Amino acid sequence: MERLKRRQDFVAAARAQYAAMPGMVVQMRSRGDEGPPRVGFTTTRKLGNAVVRNRIRRRLREVARLRLAGLARPGHDYVLIGRDKSLERPFSQLENDLTSALQRLHRAAVAPADKETR
């Protein structure tokens, strides 16, 4: 899975849909193409020093590696934002947070289209 690295990609995802979960916030943006899904990771300085932020990002990367590959849709960008509970939350619950967030985002992305076709 490709990584988001440019600031403008993160800013575009910030203006799109998001789902807040206890362990993370997941932002999703449809790029409008059929390219492979891309993922980015971020944490704020409010969470702690660089060591703490890097530990949180490593946990988010591993969750994304395990779960996002099978659930991500082509042509979408995903940004996982670490929260203070990302570090202490059990890993299985972080996986469930990501799965639930993606289900919610994908369901919300389909719902407006269904209303317009009626």
Q: Can you give the chain as a three-state secondary structure string?
A: CEECCCHHHHHHHHCCEEEECCCEEEEEEECCCCCCCEEEEECCHHHCCHHHHHHHHHHHHHHHHHHHHHHCCCCEEEEEEECHHHCCCCHHHHHHHHHHHHHHHHHHHHHHHHHHHC
Threshold 0.85, pTM exceeds: yes
Residues 7-57 have pLDDT tens digits of 999 999 999 999 999 999 999 999 888 889 999 999 999 999 999 999 999
Residue 54 in contact with residue 44, Cβ under 8 Å? no
Domain boundaries, the chain: 2-108
Residues 58-80 have pLDDT tens digits of 999 999 999 988 899 999 999 99
Does the domain at 2-108 match CATH 3.30.360.30? Answer given as: no
